[in-house]
Amino acid sequence: MKKALIFGTIVLALAAPMLAGVVKKTKSDVTFRGFGKFSLAQSEKLTSDQKWADMKSDFKGQGIAGGLAGKTILRPGDSGEIIDLAQSSVFKLDNKKREYTVGPIEKVKQETEGEKAEAGREKEEEPAESNIKITKSEFKVEDTGEESTINNFPVRKYLVHWLTEWENTETGDKGSSRLESLVWTTPMNETFQRAQEEEVKFYRAYMEKIGLDVEKTQQDILGTSWLSVLDSLGKAKGQPGRDYSKAAGEMQKIKGYPIVIDGKYFVTGQKATGEGAEGGQEEAQDVKGRIGGLLKKTLKKKPADTAASANEPSLSYHTEVLEISTPDLGAGDFQVPAGYKKK
C-alpha cells in the first residue's frame, strides 16, 4: 500500500503542468523628507495564481516619528512570502529564524479606528463648500529619445511632469504639488510581454481576493490610481477632486517595460494640519495605526525654510529591475524551504 501511494505521488508530480511564470529581482528605495528612507531588495517567482517572494528590507528613520517607525513596523528584516490564490492562503517566512506561519488571505481594512476618528474630525471641520481653487494643472510625458543600457537591458528615457497649483480664495494662501519622474523602459519583446501578462493576471486576482476594486486599481506603478495616492498625501484640506483622464492618455506615450523609475514629489506652501500633534504624544497608543497619519503630516508640514524646501522633495522613490526571465515553474517553486518549522 505504501509503495502504491509513493508511486501515485510520483505520477501526479510528473503529470502536474508546468506553468508559465516570471522570475524577477528588483530593488527599491523610498525616502520621506524628515521621516526616513525605506529600502527593499526582492526576489520573486510568480504565476497567474501563485507568488513566492524573498525580501530583505532596511529603514533609516529620521526624527521622533521615523525613529518610532524604525523600531516597530519598519524594522530591518529578512523575510519571505508565499501567496496561493487557489487555496486563499499566505505563508509568512522568517528567514533568520527559519520559521513560518500560514493564514488566510484577508481583505484589506479600509481604515484603522484611529484614521476613522481623524477622518471624522476633519469632516466636521471641513466647510460645506471648498475655498480651494485649482489655478493650474499640467500633466505631460516626454519621450526624450535618449537611449542607454541599464542592468544589461537596452532602455529608452521618458520624462513625466505633473504640476498642480492651487489658491485659497478666502485666505489668499497659495501652494503647489509637483511630480518629476524619469522612466527608463526596455522594448516589449516576447519575454516582457509574457511577464507583464502573468503579473496582470496574478495581481488582478489578488486584488479581488483582498477586496479592492479591480477596475479602479492600476497595476502599473505609474497608473492614475498611484497618482491619486500621491495627491491625497499632499493635497490641501478641502481641495476638490482632480481629473486624471488626461494623465491616463499621456501615459500611453510610454512604450516598453519599465526597468528604472526614479521620481521626486514636491509639495510647497501648505500648512501643517494638527500642528503640535507630533512628538512624544504619538508614541502613546496604536503605533501601527498612526504611521499613515505621520507620513501625511510629514508631507503636509510647512517647512521652516520655504526657499530651501522648494528644491527638496517631500517624497522620492527609485525602483529598478535587476533581472527578469519567464521560465516554466512548477509546484516545487512555491514550497516552504526545507528545514523551516511552523510557528
2: pLDDT confidence band, cut at 50, 70 and 90?
very low
284's grid cell: 502613546
**Distances in whole angstroms, Cα of residue 235 to Cα of each of 9, 227, 334:** 58, 12, 42
pLDDT score for 220: 45
Report the greatest alpha carbon distance in the chain.
Answer: 84
Q: pTM value?
A: 0.72
199: pLDDT confidence band, cut at 50, 70 and 90?
confident
297 neighbors 314 (Cβ within 8 angstroms): no
| Structural domain contains residue 302 | yes
Averaged over 113-128, what is the pLDDT? 51
Query: What distance in Å separates the CA atoms of residue 192 and residue 106, rounded to the nearest whole number?
Result: 30
* For the chain, percent of residues with pLDDT exceeding 70: 64
| Structural domain contains residue 232 | yes
pLDDT score for 284: 29
Average confidence score pLDDT of the chain: 75
Comparing 149-158, 168-177, 272-281, the range with the smallest average pLDDT is 272-281
Please tell me the total count of domains within the chain.
Answer: 1
| Structural domain contains residue 122 | no
pLDDT score for 245: 67
| Structural domain contains residue 118 | no
14: pLDDT confidence band, cut at 50, 70 and 90?
very low
* For the chain, percent of residues with pLDDT exceeding 90: 29
pLDDT score for 34: 82
DSSP-based three-state secondary structure for 304: coil
| Structural domain contains residue 248 | yes
| Structural domain contains residue 290 | yes
Of 28, 46, 106, 39, whose CA–CA distance to 82 is shortest?
46
Strand order in the sheet with 174-186: 132-150, 153-168, 174-186, 257-268, 315-325, 22-32, 36-46, 50-61, 77-84, 89-94, 99-104, 341-342
Comparing 55-59, 117-121, 133-137, 284-288, the range with the smallest average pLDDT is 284-288
Query: What distance in Å separates the CA atoms of residue 169 and residue 140, rounded to the nearest whole number?
Result: 27
What is the domain extent for residue 40? 18-108+132-273+286-342
Over residues 283-332, the pLDDT tens digits come to: 323 333 444 555 555 445 544 444 445 578 888 889 999 999 999 898 88
Over residues 67-112, the pLDDT tens digits come to: 776 666 677 889 999 999 999 999 999 999 999 999 999 887 654 4
Concatenate the DSSP letters of all residues of 13-42 into one string: HHHSPPEE-EEEEEEEEEEETTTEEEEEEE
| Structural domain contains residue 177 | yes
Residue 153, classified by CB atoms within 10 Å of its CB into exposed (0-12), middle (13-18) or buried (19+), is buried
| Structural domain contains residue 278 | no
